[in-house]
């Protein structure tokens, strides 16, 4: 309507624009135009200092921006499938207009939720909670709490020492991105890397969590398909460089595994 603009729309647009500006202070940001927005507001690329005059780009992530008044997001049916099939790690940014600050959340708990039930029909993401390195989200529970934020910063910090803030952002977010990139690959076979974190601190990487609701045959097939290209190259390199000691080590390991997993009534016949 000419000469009019909805106050809620205007407020939302300003919040997203300011959040993008805060992200641009610490990373390379490619905003997604509103006409193309299907749940991703920006592709954010980490960078670090390469030399005195240049920055070098590294990992990229998807970021969805929400106002701090939004405390949860619900996904259902095809939306859940879309989440699961994203090929870059998804992070959430919550913008608070009162102090012009942004809180960045990783999706570690969502990765765990996916391996406990690969066929979820609904997920509600809450911007609260605490990581628990010893527990894993139960399959019947559709409520996923992804807090606390991995980092919080504001416009005042940007104006004081942007270089220090950028370096801090890189040191904290880079390990989270590495973990989530690995989880995108390994969650297909029911495995995620565990981590523990506190806001504005480098995360503590831990052991792996393994579980799955997929049938055993599906997990085996998925593991085989992921293993096959690397195993084929490994065989080729063995023949090329004649590193037979490593080959003997692997065959011995596989034989021990076969004997350990073989049913007792068959062990004497092998």
pLDDT in tens, 43-88: 999 999 999 899 999 999 999 999 999 999 999 999 999 999 999 9
d(C-alpha 228, C-alpha 246), whole Å = 18
Q: 21-60 b/e with 16+ CB inside 10 Å = b?
A: ebbebbbbbebbeeeeeeebbbebebbeeeeeeeeeeebb
Tens of pLDDT, residues 164-196: 999 999 999 999 999 999 999 888 888 888 888
Other beta carbons within 10 angstroms of residue 249's beta carbon come to 11
The whole model's pTM is what?
0.85
In angstroms, rounded to a whole number, what is the distance separating the alpha carbons of residues 109 and 147?
9
What would the DSSP string read from start to end of 146-181?
-PSPSEEEEHHHHHH-HHHHHHHHHHHHHHHHHHHH
Please tell me the distance from the alpha carbon of residue 7 to that of residue 158, in angstroms, as a whole number. 28
């Amino acid at each position: 309507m000419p000469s009019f603009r909805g106050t809620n729309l205007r407020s939302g647009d300003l919040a997203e624009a300011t959040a993008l500006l805060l992200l641009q202070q610490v990373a390379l940001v490619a905003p997604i135009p509103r006409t193309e927005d299907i749940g991703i507001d920006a592709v954010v690329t980490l960078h670090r200092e390469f030399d005195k005059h240049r920055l070098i780009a590294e990992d990229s992530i998807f970021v969805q921006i929400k106002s701090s008044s939004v405390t949860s997001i619900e996904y259902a049916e095809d939306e859940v499938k879309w989440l699961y099939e994203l090929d870059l790690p998804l992070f959430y940014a919550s913008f608070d207009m009162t102090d012009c600050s942004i809180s960045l959340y990783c999706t570690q708990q969502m990765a765990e939720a996916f391996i406990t039930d690969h066929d979820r029909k609904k997920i509600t993401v809450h911007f609260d909670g605490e990581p628990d390195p010893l527990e894993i989200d139960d399959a019947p529970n559709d409520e996923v709490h992804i807090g606390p934020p991995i980092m919080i910063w504001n416009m005042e910090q940007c104006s004081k020492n942007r270089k220090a803030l950028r370096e801090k952002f890189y040191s904290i977010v880079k390990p989270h991105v590495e973990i989530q990139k690995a989880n995108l690959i390994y969650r297909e076979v029911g495995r995620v890397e565990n981590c523990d974190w506190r806001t504005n601190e480098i995360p503590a990487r831990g052991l792996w969590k393994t579980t799955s609701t997929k049938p055993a045959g599906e997990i085996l097939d998925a593991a085989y398909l992921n293993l096959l290209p690397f195993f084929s190259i490994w065989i080729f390199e063995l023949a090329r460089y004649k590193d037979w000691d490593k080959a003997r080590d692997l065959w011995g390991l596989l034989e021990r595994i076969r004997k350990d997993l073989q049913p007792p009534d068959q062990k004497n016949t092998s």
